[in-house]
Structure formats: structure tokens, C-alpha cells
Structure 1
Amino acid sequence: MTRSSLDVAEETPLPAPRSNRPATIGHRIEYAATRFLFFLFGLIGVDRASALAGGFTRFVGPKLRRISARGEENLRRAFPDWSENAVRRAVAGVWENLGRTAAEFAHLDRFDPFAPDSRVEIVGAERLRAVAAGAGPAIFVSGHFANWEVMSVALKAAGVDYAVVYRAANNPLVDALIIETRARVMSRHQIPKGKRGARALVEALRAGRSLAMLVDQKLNDGIAVPFMGRPAMTTPAPARLALKFGAPVIPMGIERLAGARFRLTVYDPIAHAPTGDLAEDVRSLTILINEALEARIRARPEQWLWLHRRWPKDDGAPA
């Protein structure tokens, strides 16, 4: 990236925080607590912060039965041969990973995979460099694996001009804090999910800018395709945009190796030959994206976010 393009990037306005939920007293208390934790985690260092938060959520999380029961049932359905002990151990690991990820948000600048003292080893870095060198915009897809923020940190470190798609936090004050933090270590080009950001996705690709998307969560108005052996409402946006702009879809995986250290893998673009039937092409490419995510989940199931409502309620999963 040239100096002039960096200057332009620094002037890019940040998205406005969530505006459909006015800040309440509860929001202000939550925001104050979040700022305090950011300060505390920053003060004690990344290793201690990660271990402290991970230990806390590993202990407390499984006691939140409504949420943990959902994760346990999801795991039983995905891995029907697992014992109950294996299911409970995996859910405890999910909670620990979630706590560690939250604490590590205060130390995102430590996860540049190209830094001399990096905590992230990277496989397939040449694929990032090719996009950064002008191979054309790409659509990078991943899921809520390990510390999922590492993907966007790596894209910026590799010099990729990209926009990151995010889900706005419910608390507008916390949402603004997250946007500002990501702008420092990721991209100022941040696109909220949903109708609010739909046009921005197209504009980014038209400008030659790549996209970074986490595409493993339920979308009520998505399309139903297989995921972990069960039909799941899935966003068709990556497939539609890839077909419209001829952009490669590049899966990325993140593994937590030990503590606050990771391996980031950049895979080959998904091989897909369009047939000319747009609806079927979107469906088939979306299935291939889900299969790429599923492979990463099955490799390290305790590092994926099993706690959310990924599948329909009427298939037997807890509400």
C-alpha cells in the first residue's frame, strides 16, 4: 500500500454506531464496566488477561444452563457418537475460548502475524500477498473460530485493502468503542450486517476492495443449506457477490495453539464452476462455503461458538 493510499485510509469516516437503540442507564453501566475491563486487561498483559478471563468463563459459563444446554444439544446432534463427558468438556472449552477472546480484544495489536515477536503463525501468507499486490478483490470467509478477530488483523498487516463486515453490538456505546478499536488495528472500512450495509458491500467490491466476512451465524432471511449435517439458514451474500464480481472466495481458519497464540491458515480459493443458473449457482457455492467452515469446526470443535441458535428451533434443538 502506498503512502498516499494510507493517507486516504486514515481519512475514511467510521460507520456510525447503532442508532436504533438509544443509550439507557443500563447501557451506560455496561459501557463503564467494559472500559474498566479493557483497562484492566491492558494493564496485566495479554497472557494474564487471556488466562484470567478464560478461567472465569470456563467456570461460570457451564452454570448458565439455558445457554450451555443449547451448546450441548448442538454438539450431540453434530457428534452423535460422543459421550456426555466429551460434550461437557467441549462446552467448557467453548466458554473458555470465548472469555479469552474477549480479554484479547484489548491486545489486538499483538496479533500481527508478520511482526518479529508475533503470536500468530500464518500458513498460506502468499495468498494474502497476491491479493495485496493487486490480484483483484477477494472475498475472505471464516467463522467464529478461536479468536476470530485475528483474520482481519492479518489482512491489514499483509497490506490488503479490505472492508470488514461486522454485527453491531446491541449497546450503542459499546458498539462505538468496538468500531474505534477495530479501526486502529484492522480497517476503517467497516460494514454493518443487514440492510444497513448491503449497498456498501457492492460499493467496496466496485472500488476494488476485498471483503472479510464471518459467515457461520444464522440469518433469518438467508437460504436453507446443509451445515454440520442439518439444514441451516445461511447468508447467500458471499456467493452472490463472488458470482457478480468474479471474485474468488478464500476460506481462512484460525486455531488457538496455546494460551494467546494462534495459527492462521489461508486456504486456496473455493473451486466453483458457474452454470449460468444464478439461483442454483448461489446455492451450490454457499454449500461449498459451509463445507469449508464445517471442516474447520470438526477439526477443533471446542474452539467454535456452539452456543448460538444456528439451526431452526423445530428440529429438536433447544430454543
Structure 2
Amino acid sequence: MTNDSDDIDEKPPLADRIGNAAFLGLMKFAGWLPYERRIATVGWVFSHILGPLAGWRKRIRSNLALARPDLSPEEVRHLMRAVPNNAGRSIAEIYSGKEFTDRIQASDPLYGPGLPALEEAAISGRPVIIACAHFGNYDAFRAALHARGWPIGALYRPMNNEAFNEHYIPAMKAIAEPLFPRGRSGLAAMLRFLKGGGWLALGFDQYDGKGAELEFFGLPTKTVLTPAELALRYDALVVPVSGIRQPDGVSFAVLVGEPVPHGEPAEMMQYLNDDLEALIRLHMEQWLWIHRRWKRRN
């Protein structure tokens, strides 16, 4: 005889369900608005309501004090509002589904010195590591590559809020597939995909306690080596790609950077850190300064 509780699915914590319900309410309201107004509205909510409530402004100010102590108080205050605004716009775009991807496809925003190398890899069937960061809209480049018919997959980490995952993951899948969750099963499928000539988007801009201590904005921080190690293992091209939000707030230019020369994994990842830093300095509001990129040791 089994315990009755074994037959009942465990519900997410109440706080998660409340937060998820509030988010869905916002997205339902935003869905009634025209596209451009919808994106701007969710950006405003993230900037003026969610950002302060979640403590994002404090985190942004702290990170900027470490990485950009040269900024004026006015510039810091601007970024404390602009960074959550960009994050909100990105979320609204992901949940806009076909409207978002249709706009990307119509504009064909890919450009940059690494584009010919991607075109050649598509013809030859060579595996590609797309080195990406939480910059601009990190799903804009997936939509752009998918629109060309290129085999773009991505590794993702499910959100801590399980109720949120129920709609967030399908929204990401609607932009491009396949997606591989972190974990054993996801890792095995991801490696098969890459070995077969797939293109894999891997983030590298978050703190990784098991990574190598490299520099970012002149500060030591742990950086994941996986993108470089997989590239060496499978003879994959490594290319940094970023979706840069344009001044109108709703369109993108997708920059394909120079391919990273194969070498020591740490040197390859330092190259990517430096490349990303240069891009962030040009568009400070588009990187997610909310992350704990520089963790202090005890």
C-alpha cells in the first residue's frame, strides 16, 4: 500500500507561485498592447518596480563600483534604471514569440568579421561553439541564426522557480531548438548534437567557482573553461555572437565577432572576456550587471 501523498505532485513554494502569478498577470496585460508599446511597458516595470523590489539597483551599483569606479554618480544612477529596463524588454520579446522572431527574420541582422566563418561552417558541417553573454537580448542571435536555417542549439539552466519554468522554457523553445538543460541527460544529448555538427550557444559571463581565475574589467574572477575545452575536443569553431539592442529599443544588430584561435583553454576564454568587455564598454546598459560576477573571498 502506498502513501497517498506519493500520488500528489508537490507544488512549488507559495512565494514562487505568487511571484509567477504576478509575472503572468503582467505578461497577459502586456500582450494586449501593440508590440513596441508592449516591450517598452515591460521594460518600465522592470526598471521602476521590479528592480528596486528585487534589490537589483543595489547590486548594479556595487558591481559598477568594482568594475567602473570612474563613472559619475549620474551615470551610475542612469545604469541602475537602464539595466533592468533592458532585461524587461528582453523578457517581453521572448514572450512575444512569433512577433519577435518574425521581426528578426525580416531584418536579417547578422553582420561582423566572423560571419564568413559561420557561413563556411554551415556549408562544411563543422561544429560551432557560439560564445554568448547576458548582453542585449541573448535570444536575438538565436532567432537570427535559426532564421538562416543554421543548426543552433543552446545549453540552459532551469530557473529556481519551478512554476516559472512551466512557461519560460516553452517560450525559449519557440524561438529556436534544441535546448539542453544542465544535468547528465542534457549534457549527453548536447555532446551528441555538437559531435554531429551542431552549433551550441554557451554562456561564459557568469561566475563559475570551478573555473579558471581570469580577468574581466581588470579584476580577477572565475571563468568557465567549457566552451574552449569542447571546441578543442570536437574541433569546433568558436565565435562570440551578441544581439545588440538598437537606439529604437526594439530592433537588433547581431554582431558575429572574430573566431577565437585554438590554443590553451584559459587563453581562449581570456580572449572572450576581453572581447565582451570591449563591447560592454560601448553599451554599458545592455549587460546584466545584476549578476555576482566578482565574488569576494572570505
State whether residues 128 and 155 of structure 1, in contact with CA within 8 Å, keep that contact through their aligned partners in structure 2: no
Distance 1:157 1:231 in 2: 38
> What's 2:28 paired with?
39
Equivalent position to 2:275, from 292, 299, 311 = 292
State whether residues 253 and 296 of structure 1, in contact with CA within 8 Å, keep that contact through their aligned partners in structure 2: no
Distance 2:168 2:13 in 1: 18
SS at match of 2:258: coil
Q: Report whether the alignment pairs 1:259 with 2:249.
A: yes
SS at match of 2:46: helix
> What's 1:81 paired with?
70
> What's 2:229 paired with?
240
* Cα drift, residue 66 of structure 1: 4.0
Distance 1:196 1:298 in 2: 38
State whether residues 117 and 259 of structure 2, in contact with CA within 8 Å, keep that contact through their aligned partners in structure 1: no
> What's 2:111 paired with?
123
* Cα drift, residue 61 of structure 1: 5.1
> What's 1:227 paired with?
216
Unaligned runs of 5+ in 2: 1-9
| Aligned pairs, number | 285
Q: 1:149 to 1:219 in 2, by over 3 A?
A: same
> What's 1:10 paired with?
none
Q: How does 1:126-145 map to 2 (within 5 A)?
A: 126-145=116-135
Q: 1:234 to 1:200 in 2, by over 3 A?
A: farther
> What's 1:308 paired with?
291
Q: Which moved more, 1:209-218 or 1:34-43?
A: 34-43
* Cα drift, residue 64 of structure 1: 4.3
Q: Which moved more, 1:235-244 or 1:52-61?
A: 52-61
Q: 1:57 to 1:113 in 2, by over 3 A?
A: closer
Distance 1:57 1:114 in 2: 23
* Cα drift, residue 128 of structure 1: 4.0
SS at match of 1:34: helix
Measured on the aligned residues, the alpha-carbon RMSD in Å equals 2.4
Distance 2:105 2:84 in 1: 29
SS at match of 1:297: helix
Q: Which amino acid aligns with 2:249?
A: G
State whether residues 122 and 264 of structure 1, in contact with CA within 8 Å, keep that contact through their aligned partners in structure 2: yes
Q: Report whether the alignment pairs 1:24 with 2:7.
A: no
Unaligned runs of 5+ in 1: 1-20, 275-280
SS at match of 1:314: coil
Equivalent position to 2:163, from 173, 178, 184 = 173
Distance 2:92 2:104 in 1: 22
* Cα drift, residue 211 of structure 1: 0.3
* Cα drift, residue 93 of structure 1: 0.9
Q: 1:98 to 1:47 in 2, by over 3 A?
A: same
State whether residues 90 and 137 of structure 2, in contact with CA within 8 Å, keep that contact through their aligned partners in structure 1: yes
> What's 1:5 paired with?
none
State the 4+ residue runs in structure 1 displaced beyond 6 angstroms. none
Q: Which amino acid aligns with 2:111?
A: V
> What's 1:57 paired with?
46
Q: Report whether the alignment pairs 1:106 with 2:95.
A: yes
Q: 1:136 to 1:112 in 2, by over 3 A?
A: farther
State whether residues 132 and 159 of structure 1, in contact with CA within 8 Å, keep that contact through their aligned partners in structure 2: no
> What's 1:278 paired with?
none
Q: Could you state the TM-score of these two structures normalised by the residue count of structure 1?
A: 0.81
Q: Which amino acid aligns with 1:173?
A: A
Distance 1:165 1:268 in 2: 22
Q: 1:22 to 1:236 in 2, by over 3 A?
A: farther
CA deviations on 1:152-182 (whole Å, 9 max, x unpaired) are 1112112111321112111223213222122
Q: Which amino acid aligns with 1:171?
A: N
Equivalent position to 1:159, from 149, 167, 171 = 149
Identity of aligned residues (%): 31
